[in-house]
Amino acid sequence: MRQHSVLLVDDHTIFRQALRGLLQQQPHLKVVGEAKNGIDALRLAKMLKPDLALIDISLPELNGIDTCCRLQKESPKTRTIALSMFSDPEKVLQMLQAGALAYIVKGCEIEELLEGIASALEGEVYLPPSLSGVLVDEVRRSGRSLELTGRQREVLQLFSEGNSTKDIARKLKISPKTVETHRKQIMDKTGIDNLANLTKYAIREGLTDLES
């Protein structure tokens, strides 16, 4: 199993140490560096070239949003996850637009964090179910668009073709919980709340052909 290198970016030492301890228990993850501000994070990312960076939004010297944005330019192979104490939808949007692939609230369960890490390492966007609804509300309020991700389109196609949650999880090599998270986010984004209408939507989008 390949080990993925991780950079932790948070100005609270105790939180970083606790997070390091949790991640080091995962055989596929290795924490290779820690930074307490955005400037140090960019310097370490350039030197260490980590696969993943977990970045707090509220950072001294250079905030998490600008750190994430610059990291995409200076270390484009490093995938980023936003960490925050708050679930403000505007902040969620700003971090996603800055390049973060997941937004994790610090009070979450470890399983939710690991789901976010797994999705980010696959290059997929992950939002906890508790955040997807408020994000869609903010997008609709602001008039911005939020399209389905590639993985969400895959999940939608497989659902529309009659696959169960377990079938989809097996085919995409992700957990059933992740499949259900994607399904909820698809419904939130499209405003469709049942499988029959989702299937019609998939046909209109050219994702499936029930006659094939």
How many of the other CB atoms lie within 10 Å of CB of 33? 18
Domains 4-128 and 147-204 share a fold: no
Query: Strand 102-105 to strand 79-84: parallel, antiparallel, or no bridges (unpaired)?
Result: parallel
How many of the other CB atoms lie within 10 Å of CB of 24? 12
In CATH terms, the fold of domain 4-128 is Rossmann fold (3.40.50)
> Which two three-digit tokens encode residue 29?
């993850």
Single-letter code of the amino acid located at 105? V
Residue, of 3 and 154, whose pLDDT is higher: 3
CA dist 131 and 8 (Å) reads 22
Residue 211 backbone class (left: φ over 0; alpha: ψ -120 to 50; beta: rest): alpha
CA 35 to chain centroid, in Å, comes to 21
Per-residue model confidence (pLDDT) at position 87: 77
pLDDT over threshold 50, residue 129 = yes
CA dist 149 and 152 (Å) reads 5
Residue, of 26 and 152, whose pLDDT is higher: 26
Which residues does 33 contact at the CB level (< 8 Å), separation at least 6?
A: 7, 8, 44, 48, 50
CA dist 123 and 49 (Å) reads 16
In our burial notation (b when 16+ CB lie closer than 10 A, e otherwise), range 111-140 reads: ebbebbbbbbbbebbbbbeebbebbbebbe
CA dist 50 and 7 (Å) reads 6
In our burial notation (b when 16+ CB lie closer than 10 A, e otherwise), range 61-95 reads: ebbbbebbbbbeeebeebbbbbbbeebebebbbbb
| Tens digits of residue pLDDT in 174-210 | 899 999 988 888 888 888 888 888 888 887 776 765 5
What is the domain partition of the chain in residue ranges? Answer: 4-128, 147-204
| Helix segments in 25-149, DSSP class H | 38-48, 64-74, 89-98, 110-121, 129-142
How many of the other CB atoms lie within 10 Å of CB of 158? 21
- Place 143 in a pLDDT band, splitting at 50, 70 and 90: very low
- Domain 147-204: state its class: mainly alpha
Q: Is residue 46 within 8 Å of residue 75, measured between CB atoms?
A: yes
- Place 2 in a pLDDT band, splitting at 50, 70 and 90: confident
Is the pTM here over 0.85, yes or no? no
Per-residue model confidence (pLDDT) at position 212: 39
Per-residue model confidence (pLDDT) at position 136: 55
| Tens digits of residue pLDDT in 27-85 | 999 999 999 999 999 999 999 999 999 999 988 888 888 899 899 889 989 999 999 88
